[in-house]
Amino acid sequence: MGDIRRVPRVDDALLSARGVETGYGDLQVLHGVDLDVRRDEIVVVFGPNGAGKSTLLRAIYRLLPLWAGSVTVDGTDVSTVETADLVDYGVGYVPQTANVFPNLSVSENLDVGGAPVADSSRRRADLYALFPRLAERSNQRASTLSGGERQMLAMARALMTDPDVLLVDEPSAGLAPQLVERAFDHVQRVREGGTAVLMVEQNVRAALGIADRGYVLDVGENRFEGPAADLLASDAVRDLYLGARED
């Protein structure tokens, strides 16, 4: 762990981003970002507002074009694969907002997520087993769910295609403080279900508490990276990005 110029590759990466550059119109946001996720890892990306964290997830999910760099999944270059086809490569995505259909029921939301899947009712049953609360609420409109339940549904919807890696933008955003830990329990459940997680988070301490590794982005560049425990223990990371201790 340390202040970095070059980001070391990890062995056996499932998802790898290398030298990713992108932005919006004339505005370049990412200036060559590197990141890896291993199978079954939870990896957290954090850093100041506007650092480009959401932009990085969008670039990986091909919602933005790569201006430079590459994304590979299991060694296959997916840099030019369309978003709709990324399901075939085992990549899923949960945006920060507008991630469920409020007027559809829980089960209908899952069916929409499972549209690309042949045996979606079986997959839905698996996800109800993983998230029993959703089974209890299966006929309820998504708009009537609590914030935490809605985030759970958003993840389950994206898991309907049984991805190998799920990109999640701020799973604890907008949740009351006492619900934040529970949101991370759900992220751990995703991993237990066999899906690696790459998440962006602002609740950094709690996120690092369940993550294997983390990356700090600052102004569109890698700033720190390392095992979660090392990042938590780092004075520099704490002073710059973690704020005052809550405990």
Ligand X SMILES: Nc1ncnc2c1ncn2[C@@H]1O[C@H](COP(=O)(O)OP(=O)(O)OP(=O)(O)O)[C@@H](O)[C@H]1O
Q: Give the interface with ligand X as residue ranges (CB under 6 A).
A: 24, 27, 29, 49-55
Taking the complex as a whole, the smallest distance from the CB of residue 135 to Mg ion amounts, in Å, to 31
Among 45, 18, 52, smallest CA distance to 32 is for 18
156 binds, among Mg ion, ligand X, none (CB under 5 to 8 A by kind): none
Q: Name which of 97 and 139 has its Cβ closer to ligand X.
A: 97
Q: Which is nearer to ligand X, 53 or 213 (CB)?
A: 53
* Distance separating alpha carbons of residues 134 and 76, to the nearest angstrom: 34
What is the distance between the alpha carbons of residues 190 and 168, in angstroms, rounded to a whole number?
Answer: 11
The answer to whether the beta carbons of residues 151 and 175 sit under 8 Å apart is yes
CB nearer to Mg ion: pick between 31 and 38: 31
* Binding-site string for Mg ion from residue 44 to residue 83, where x marks contact by CB under 5 A and - marks none: ---------xx-----------------------------
Place of tokens 């507002």: 49
16 makes contact, choosing from Mg ion, ligand X, none, with CB < 5 to 8 Å by partner type, with none
Residue 95 or residue 193: which is nearer to ligand X going by CB?
Answer: 95
Q: Residue 49's binding partner, choosing from ligand X, Mg ion, none, with beta-carbon cut-off 5 to 8 A by kind?
A: ligand X
Residues with Cβ within 8 Å of 186's Cβ and at least 6 positions away in sequence, in order, are 131, 148, 151, 152, 155, 171
Distance CA 203, CA 223 (A): 18
Residue 27 touches which member of ligand X, Mg ion, none, C-beta under 5-8 Å by kind: ligand X
Q: Which does 199 bind (CB under 5 to 8 A by kind): ligand X, Mg ion, none?
A: none
Q: Which token pair is 173?
A: 């955003």
| Nearest distance from C-beta of residue 189 to ligand X, angstroms | 24
Q: Are 145 and 108 in contact (CB under 8 A)?
A: no
Of 53 and 124, which has the nearer Cβ to Mg ion?
53
For the CB of residue 51, give the shortest distance to ligand X in the complex, in Å. 4
Q: Tell me how far apart the alpha carbons of residues 126 and 57 are, in angstroms, rounded to a whole number.
A: 26
Q: Rounded to an integer, what distance in angstroms lies between the CA atom of residue 137 and that of residue 152?
A: 12
Least Å from the CB of residue 159 to ligand X: 22
Task: Give the C-alpha separation, 1 to 233, whole Å.
Answer: 10
Question: Integer distance in angstroms from the first to the last C-alpha of the chain?
Answer: 24
Instruction: State the nearest-atom distance from the C-beta of 148 to Mg ion, in Å.
Output: 19
Indicate the DSSP class of residue 17. Answer: E
Query: Shortest Cβ distance from residue 107 to ligand X (Å)?
Result: 31
120 lines the binding site for Mg ion (CB under 5 A): no
Q: List contacts with Mg ion (CB under 5 A).
A: 53-54
